[in-house]
Structure 1
Amino acid sequence: MRADAEAALEGALDAFRAGGPVCIHDFVDREGETDLVYPARAVTPAAVSRMRNDAGGLICVAVSHRVAEAFELPFLADAIDHPAIDDDPAYDTRSSFSLPVNHRETFTGITDIDRARTITELGTAAAAVERDPEAYTAETFASEFRSPGHVHVLRGAEDLLADRTGHTELGLALAAAAGEPPAVVVCEMMDDETGTAVTPEDAAAYADRQGIPYVEGKTLVEALE
């Protein structure tokens, strides 16, 4: 691995261990987007505000395959019987979307405070599954979360980067390497002027101004697959 790529990876790992964000660009020939990614357990209302204002995409929580299985979370496209369902995105074979949820102790679920509560509780639940997969069930999940809600849950591929290289898997692979629970927040960075995704160059410049590590998906795949 090149020295600059190795430094980017180490910076990203250090940030995740400290509960901070990382900017991850996937691939030009995939979505071509950069996401702000946080370990779910560390997300605060201020972090949700940053994602709303600085990124602007959809705020989602990605969980590992094992966690999704313990929660008994379906893929959203499999759970809904409607003619509009067409899970064949141009960038991949299928999307990762599962249920949108709110924690049961939130109110509307959409405020920064409410979404931070839902996100951190998802991180706590994912950590509980890691400790004891048999102790957490769909009923446990339903006692803590309700759907529909305002935080979309994403299901990670079973073998992560060996199966799929979306932001879902890139973030989860980074969490695993950092020793974090298998739950991460991802939010796409949008460009107010063009109405499209922020370019990698602009995302890297933003990361530099904010003191946030910026890492390419290729670097993560090479180091963590």
Structure 2
Amino acid sequence: MTEALEDLRDGKPVLVHDFEDRENEVDMVYLAGEVTHDKVARLRNDAGGLVCVAVHPDAARRLGLGYMSDKLAKAGDERLVDADLGYDDRSSFSTWVNHRSTRTGVTDNDRAKTVRRIADAVETVLAGGVFDFPSEFRAPGHVAVLRGHDDLLDGRQGHTEMSLALADEAGEVPATVVCEMLDDETGDAMTVDDARRYADENDLAFLTGEGFARLVH
């Protein structure tokens, strides 16, 4: 855990596996405030899944970022709501955004800017400041925002909450980037063994869900 925290502070990614009986996937994790275009490229090329930004639930409330499932239900689209997930009670998805200064929002530079400004928004509101989210971001966009469970790891032990716990332990802004590691050849999630091998070859910390036990109150 100590190595992982140091790596995050230094701008390096950390690999996090949840549980075999949950998603059983490995995510590449960065601190959102440290993301640059080259890091987005690494997420695309070496991880391959969705580039998502996880935000602390307190910040999400202050920024008006609710769960997408709640928005769909309120709009009368209950049949679309993720009530039958095979690994959890609900997904963490909130909304998808682009920063208003971006063009298409999908380039590595555009997504990096969107991610960093989300981290700025989280830092501002958690410090007691005001941040007008709609004035800086537009939706739909190319960066998925994930809202951490209100009880964090005590309520849900997914990559969203584990990555936020890492940021908190590191003493950094609780806004992280998570991206699933996929396998080009099989079309499935990268196996835990292959992800460990990638971590070893690239000198990256590898954490498992069990390693977060002491952070659950």
Q: Could you say which TM-score interval applies, normalised by the shorter chain?
A: over 0.9
> Is 1:113 the counterpart of 2:109 in the alignment?
yes
Q: CA RMSD in A?
A: 1.0
Check conservation: 1:177, 1:224, Cα contact below 8 A.
no
Identify unmatched segments of 5+ residues in structure 2: none
Q: Please point out which of 41, 65, 82 is paired with 1:87.
A: 82
For structure 1, the residue ranges without an aligned partner over 5 or more in a row are: 1-8
SS in 2 for 1:136: coil
Q: Which residue of 2 aligns with 1:162?
A: 154
Distance 2:79 2:186 in 1: 28
Alignment correspondent of 1:42: 34
Aligned positions, number = 212
1:185 aligns with 2:184: no
Q: TM-score, normalised by structure 2?
A: 0.95
1:178-207 CA deviation, whole Å, 9 max, x = no partner? 001010000000011111111111101101
Q: Is it true that 1:128 corresponds to 2:120 in the alignment?
A: no
Which runs of structure 1 show a deviation greater than 6 angstroms over 4 or more consecutive aligned residues? none
Look up the SS of the partner of 1:191 in the other structure: coil
**Distance in 2 between residues matched to 1:124 and 1:193, nearest whole Å:** 37
Q: Report the CA distance between 1:83 and its aligned residue.
A: 5.5
CA distance in 2, matches of 1:70, 1:86: 24
TM-score normalised by length of structure 1: 0.92
Residue in 2 that maps onto 1:148 = 140
After superposition, residues 61-76 of structure 1 pair within 5 angstroms as 61-76=53-68
